[in-house]
Amino acid sequence: MVSKTIDNFNISQISESGQCFRIAQRDEDLYSVIASGKYLEIKQNGKECIFCCSEEEYEQFWKIYFDLDEDYIFYISQIDPNDSYLNIAAQFGDGIRILRQDLWEMIASFLISQQNNIVRIRRCIHNISECYGEPKINFRGETYYTFPGPERLAYLPEDALKECNLGYRSKYVVRTARRIVEGETDLEQIRHMTYKKAKAELLKLFGVGEKVADCICLFGLHHLQAFPVDTHITQALDKHYKRGFPKRRYKGYEGVMQQYIFYWELKKAGKI
């Protein structure tokens, strides 16, 4: 057990923010997280958080995963005081942090996300993991499943993942996994690219468009300047930023502002 007092961290908000699909609520203030083959439970009461893991695992993995060394108070403090909309959105979602997630899992997750909602994406990820991932046992003695690497999916029939409720997205994931396994796409190289170069490389993948590429850059590569635009963001921009979102003001962390807007719009729409 590791007990920490953390500002600007809310595991409930993060779980509903559309960036991660393997966080689940177990109890009123208790959440489970599966990431990179590891299992964690977090109990949170206000700023007080209990991480059910060793101090070593917390320091070496979970603190990094949750981006806990980053100063999100600074990001919020930079918001234009005259921008009432963004101030309200940031105050409402001030516990959101941009997670440092596995690149391959984010590629697959956001290929699946197209024309989909968070509940269904979670179910798809769960199904794929249960069918093709590695079973492991958590500290409660329960079985959980890792997310399968590209090598497990690369040579499946292109429609095989329809059994996991992916529908037409099955071929996107299988073709991309094959491309990675056969060396046409080098994830290690992409991890070390600038935002613009990484995005250009991701756009070469079958089924990846602008929005998906930006989601992968933001949530899988931690390029905070990525600003994914979906229908919710488009509607917000049309209503509140008729001259375009002032990215220059938030240069280098535009994606943090995007998350505040996205979460606020989802909540207002009653979709989370």
- Residues annotated as catalytic are 211
CB 166 within 8 A of CB 157: no
CB 103 within 8 A of CB 191: yes
Give the CA distances from residue 198 to residues 59, 114, 191, 209, in Å, rounded to whole numbers and listed in that order: 28, 20, 8, 13
Tokens of 47: 């700023």
Q: Cα–Cα distance between 73 and 89 in angstroms, integer?
A: 14
Give the total residue count for the chain.
Answer: 272
259 burial level (CB within 10 Å; 0-12, 13-18, 19+): buried
CA atoms 16, 33, 19, 181: torsion sign = negative
DSSP per position, 50-88: EESS-HHHIIIIIHHHTTTTS-HHHHHHTS-TT-HHHHH
Interior angle at CA 265, CA 271 and CA 20, nearest 5: 65
Mention every residue, 6+ apart, whose C-beta is less than 8 A from residue 118.
Answer: 16, 18, 21, 271, 272
Q: Give 259's DSSP letter.
A: H
- The side-by-side arrangement of strands in the sheet containing 2-5 is 2-5, 48-51, 38-45, 30-35, 23-27
